[in-house]
């Protein structure tokens, strides 16, 4: 029987390195590919996922494993689908998640298509999640390590992608992954986990945004519209932010809302940050259809937030989410992801929320 061929998206980190190692050990014909997504005029592209340093690390791992490794130039498509959207969303007073956008348009669209052109049966990544095949189709499950589970970023997948996707480290805890890397002598065994947006090393997204879109100053107002001060451009602020407002007040004030239409930054107390309902659009259901049973569903409103119980109502392609316990600092533009036990049902983009 011909061995199955798999393209592994190698970011230069320990997770994708171990994913490639596991698949080779399992008998797959493994091809390592690193996506080149950095703008060509970038002066510092040594850090972060898919930068020059990451490409070199991936090459060293591939050499150690004895597998071929290639670099594919995705700069233009990345700029058009991820960076442009990132800037556009901030210009509209929203908070985007570029990692989800990258998964949707780069890894599991363009890269998957390239992999199929190479006659690969599968694409694999170092995400902490699991794919399960049953009589009803393919399911996406959480990774077994609750501290590293990345299924939130994969809610945009569907049956087409899942049938060609392998997630080799989803059944491991991070400590085990690092142990495997050390035992194999992989050069990425002690590499740091990436925390920054890949195209903004150092995490200073405000500086990046101000280089790419206009950020005019405007009024800071309270929930009643009273002017309290001036902001330096809405893109410099996020919902829930307290520091850097430049306001003199006897109360702690937080960003409640970014009103792009009037270029106003709305602030209020911590209690005003709580919401008991949100509306989401651009829904994606991993099974290909909305769930028939809407009980026992929980959600996350951002990657780092805890999973919370909800009541879910679906209507004409949008979702109304009612929280059994009010949630803090819900930001339009972020993803809301729905779970039923270990299964990821799908998700959507937050459009608005209502105060508790």
> Is pLDDT of 45 > 50?
no
What confidence category does residue 48 fall into, taking pLDDT thresholds of 50, 70 and 90? low
> Is pLDDT of 1 > 50?
no
What's the rounded Cα separation, in Å, for the pair 14 and 63?
15
Q: What is the pLDDT of residue 198?
A: 84
Q: Closest by alpha carbon to 109, among 161, 56, 173?
A: 161
Domains of the chain: which residue ranges?
A: 5-184, 215-268, 274-355
Residue 232 Cα distances to 101, 244, 245, angstroms: 27, 10, 9
Q: How far is CA 284 from the centre of its chain?
A: 15
Q: What's the residue count for the chain? A: 356
> Is pLDDT of 52 > 80?
no
What's the rounded Cα separation, in Å, for the pair 134 and 172?
22
What confidence category does residue 2 fall into, taking pLDDT thresholds of 50, 70 and 90? low
Opening angle at CA 29, ends 137 and 189, nearest 5: 95
What's the rounded Cα separation, in Å, for the pair 134 and 140?
11
Query: And the tokens for 279?
Result: 């509306």
List, for residues 309-337, the tens digit of each pLDDT value. 999 999 989 999 999 999 999 999 999 99
| Mean pLDDT to the nearest integer, 222-238 | 95
What's the rounded Cα separation, in Å, for the pair 99 and 153?
7
CA atoms within 13 A on the CB side of 345: 22
The CATH homologous superfamily for domain 215-268 is Adenine nucleotide alpha hydrolases-like domains (2.30.30.280)
What's the rounded Cα separation, in Å, for the pair 13 and 54?
7
CA atoms within 13 A on the CB side of 248: 0
Query: And the tokens for 227?
Result: 């002017």
Q: What is the model's pTM?
A: 0.94
Q: Does the domain formed by 5-184 have CATH 3.90.1640.10?
A: no
| Mean pLDDT to the nearest integer, 203-226 | 93
Q: What is the pLDDT of residue 124?
A: 98
φ/ψ of 122, rounded to 5, equals -140, 160
| Mean pLDDT to the nearest integer, 131-159 | 96
List, for residues 93-126, the tens digit of each pLDDT value. 999 999 999 999 999 999 999 999 999 999 999 9
Q: Closest by alpha carbon to 258, among 226, 212, 219?
A: 219
Q: Which CATH architecture has domain 274-355?
A: Beta Barrel (2.40)
Mapped onto helix, strand or coil, the DSSP state of residue 180 is: helix
φ/ψ of 177, rounded to 5, equals -60, -45
What's the rounded Cα separation, in Å, for the pair 299 and 284?
14
Mapped onto helix, strand or coil, the DSSP state of residue 65 is: helix
What confidence category does residue 39 fall into, taking pLDDT thresholds of 50, 70 and 90? low
Give strand pairing partners of 313: 320
What's the rounded Cα separation, in Å, for the pair 115 and 123?
7
List, by residue number, the catalytic residues. 102, 198
Number of neighbours of residue 64 by Cβ within 10 angstroms: 16
Query: And the tokens for 126?
Result: 């170092």
């Amino acid at each position: 029987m011909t061995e199955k061929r798999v393209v592994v998206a190698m970011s230069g980190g320990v997770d994708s390195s171990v994913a490639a190692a596991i698949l080779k050990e399992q008998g797959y014909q493994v091809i390592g590919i690193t996506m080149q997504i950095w703008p060509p005029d970038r002066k510092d592209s040594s850090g972060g996922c898919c930068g020059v340093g990451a490409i070199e690390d991936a090459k060293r791992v591939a050499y150690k494993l004895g597998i071929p490794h290639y670099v594919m130039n995705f700069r233009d498509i990345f700029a058009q689908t991820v960076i442009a959207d990132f800037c556009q969303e901030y210009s509209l007073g929203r908070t985007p998640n570029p990692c989800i956008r990258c998964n949707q348009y780069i890894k599991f669209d363009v890269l998957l298509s390239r992999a199929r052109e190479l006659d690969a049966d599968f694409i694999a990544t170092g995400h902490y999640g699991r794919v399960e095949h049953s009589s009803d189709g393919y399911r996406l499950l959480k990774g077994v390590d609750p501290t590293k589970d990345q299924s939130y970023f994969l809610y945009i997948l569907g049956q087409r992608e899942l049938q060609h996707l392998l997630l080799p480290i989803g059944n491991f805890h991070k400590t085990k992954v690092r142990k495997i890397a050390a035992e194999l002598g992989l050069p990425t065994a002690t590499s740091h986990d990436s925390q920054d947006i890949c195209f903004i090393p150092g995490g200073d997204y405000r500086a990046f945004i101000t280089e790419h879109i206009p950020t005019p100053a405007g009024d800071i107002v309270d929930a009643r519209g009273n002017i309290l001060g001036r902001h330096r451009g809405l893109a410099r602020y996020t919902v829930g932010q307290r520091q850097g407002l430049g306001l003199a007040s006897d109360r702690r004030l937080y960003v409640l809302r970014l009103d792009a239409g009037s270029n106003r930054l709305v602030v209020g107390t911590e209690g005003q940050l709580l919401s008991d309902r949100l509306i989401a659009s651009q829904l994606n259901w991993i099974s290909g259809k909305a769930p028939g049973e809407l009980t026992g569903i929980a959600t996350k409103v951002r990657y780092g937030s805890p999973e919370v119980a909800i009541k879910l109502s679906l209507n004409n392609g949008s979702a109304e989410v009612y929280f059994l316990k009010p949630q803090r600092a819900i930001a339009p533009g972020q993803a809301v992801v729905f779970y039923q036990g270990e299964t990821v049902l799908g998700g959507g983009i937050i459009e608005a929320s209502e105060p508790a």
